[in-house]
Amino acid sequence: MELTKIAGIFEKGKGSFYTRGWVKRKRELKNKMFILLRDETDELQCVLDKDKADKKLVDVVEKATIESSIELKGSLRKDERAPNGFELDIEDLKIVGLADTFPIGRDLSEEFLLDVRHLWIRSSKISNALKVRATVFEAFREFMKENNFTETSGPMFVSGSVEGGSTLFKVPYFDKTVYLTQSSQFYLEVMMYSLGNCYTIAPSFRAEKSRTPRHLTEFWHAEAEMPWAGLEDIIDLEERMLKYMVEKVVTDREKELVRLGRDPKTLEPSINKKFHRMTYEEAVKEISKKFSYVKSGFDLGEKEEREFTKDLDRPIILTHYPTSLKPFYHRADPKDPMHVLCNDILAPEGYGEIIGSGERCWNTEELIERIKKDKLPLEPYQWYIDLRKYGSVPHAGFGMGLERFTSWLCKAQTIRDVVPIPRTITRTYP
Ligand code: 4AD
């Protein structure tokens, strides 16, 4: 019978408890030996009185090194001083897998911790963030289901760029060169004609030479496409979705957020208040007060977005970016063709862009003209152009970097802390 969720404790017979896990910490105080046991649920303080215990048991407890996997039997006591109010008096301990000297201690560089990420992943910092990330995925799927979107998936090997050629990873593919996809958007636009509202959660790859706290070369992308919809429809969907997702994480992962140093109360404005909104041009005016080099047509980067959003208490929606800054698929505003009907959503507290979105160019001639203007070959996009020839409809969609979003919720110092095994420009190991 499972008695409590603390470190997977089970009651075995009257008053006798059984548990198992890994040795997180060990210390000795006078005649007492303490083991802090951890598993995926929690931590449990276990104690052995050396003077009273059997010599053989004392030897085994002494032998159990940090990160050894152990099985324990004992009696459970309430103890206010223990980390979660309980302590286990050890009656028996078996070492299942004796650990070598664990290479991770205090005050190590991020580079070293990334080298040993396969071991560092066991830390409470990473495991709490990964639990929040799992709830982020769950919340996205839940919201999409409730809003009648069907899940689907596109290919990862593709023949053309979505977000511009400079960030494509080339892959040898038999006698050809293909690329790893930067976004599944174009395939969602295909599937929309078959499924209607549709979405995917898939990896996207960017050969971006940016070593910032918010860039990965491989990230998980939640993308959706909606037929018969324009810019305002997609903005409305995104705002409702983000509110839903933040609320679910705050409700289901309060403990993890607190452990990560995020006060869940600080996320309430993102649930209860309408998001801020302004056009790109209005934002540029604001940002130029701090950075004089920022003028209309400037491609806002990590630094500018960080400064712009650092004091906000909830996300901000920026609309109508210059046509010159955005890829060809964005529909130009018929009233102002110098700007596109697009929006980005920036997270508060300096985290910056979490969503890229907008209305798609759905007219054949306009699309061909835009592809040519971007100096791209038409051939790889023939199928994409075809979609406009056979019953095209106005449509809109978005892409959200799930780690960017998780990073903000967890108040992470870097996006690398919220992905299990991060991939960056310098890292493909472990
Ligand atoms: O703004 P982006 O480039 O837009 C697209 O890819 C569209 N095709 C999406 C769509 O409309 N279906 O990327 C979308 C989001 C960004 O807002 C950001 O959250 C995330 O993807 N993202 C990254 N996350 C981590 N590391 C990177 N290098 C990222 N690049 C983009």
Mean pLDDT of 62-76: 96
Q: pLDDT at position 1, please? A: 34
User: Does ligand 1 lie within 6 Å of residue 406's CB atom?
Assistant: no
Is the CB–ligand 1 distance for residue 401 below 6 Å? yes
**Helix or strand run (H / E) with residue 208:** none
Ligand 1 neighbourhood includes 215 CB (under 6 angstroms): yes
Question: Residues 6 or more apart from 382 whose CB is under 8 A from it?
Answer: none
pLDDT band at 5 (very low <50, low <70, confident <90, very high): low
Minimum CA distance residue for ligand 1 atom 2: 356
How far is Cα of residue 227 from the mean position of the Cα atoms in its chain?
Answer: 27
Query: Which strands form 316-319's sheet, in the order they lie side by side?
Result: 150-151, 198-205, 218-227, 395-401, 352-359, 342-347, 316-319, 276-279
**pLDDT at position 352 over 60:** yes
Residue nearest to atom 31 of ligand 1 (CA): 401
* Cβ–ligand 1 contact at 330 (below 6 Å): no
| pLDDT at residue 211 in the model | 87
Dihedral pair phi/psi, residue 400, rounded to 5°? -125, 130
- CATH 2.40.128.20 applies to domain 3-97: no
Average pLDDT rounded to a whole number, residues 220-240: 98
Q: 43 alpha carbon to ligand 1 midpoint, in Å? A: 37
The pick from 136, 163, 184 for probing ligand 1's pocket by mutation, whose C-beta has the most ligand atoms within 8 angstroms, reads 163
Contact 36, 29 (CB under 8 A): no
| Ligand 1 atom at shortest distance from the alpha carbon of 184 | 12
- Looking from the CA of 292 toward its CB, the CA atoms found within 13 Å total 0
Rounded to an integer, what distance in angstroms lies between the CA atom of residue 182 and that of residue 223? 12
CATH architecture of 114-418: 2-Layer Sandwich (3.30)
Q: Which atom of ligand 1 is nearest to the CA of 329?
A: 8
Quick: pLDDT tens for 155-206. Answer: 999 998 989 888 999 999 999 999 999 999 999 999 999 999 999 999 999 9
Tokens linked to 420: 């299990």
| 11-31: pLDDT as tens digits | 777 778 999 999 999 999 999
Ligand 1 centroid from CA 189, angstroms: 16
The DSSP string of 324-389 is: GGS-TTBPEETTEEEEESEEEEEETTTTEEEEEEEEBP--HHHHHHHHHHTT--SGGGHHHHHHHH
Domains of the chain, by residue range, sit at 3-97, 114-418
Q: Which of 140, 161, 206 to mutate to test the pocket of ligand 1 (most atoms within 8 A of CB)?
A: 206
pTM of the model: 0.96
- Mean per-residue pLDDT over the chain, rounded: 95
Residue of 182, 183, 217 with the most ligand 1 atoms within 8 Å of its CB, for mutation: 183
Closest atom, ligand 1, to C-alpha of 327: 8
Q: What percent of the chain has pLDDT over 90?
A: 90
How large is the average pLDDT for residues 252-269? Answer: 97
List, for residues 104-139, the tens digit of each pLDDT value: 999 999 999 999 999 999 999 999 999 999 999 999
Rounded to the nearest angstrom, the distance between the alpha carbon of 355 and the centre of ligand 1 is 7
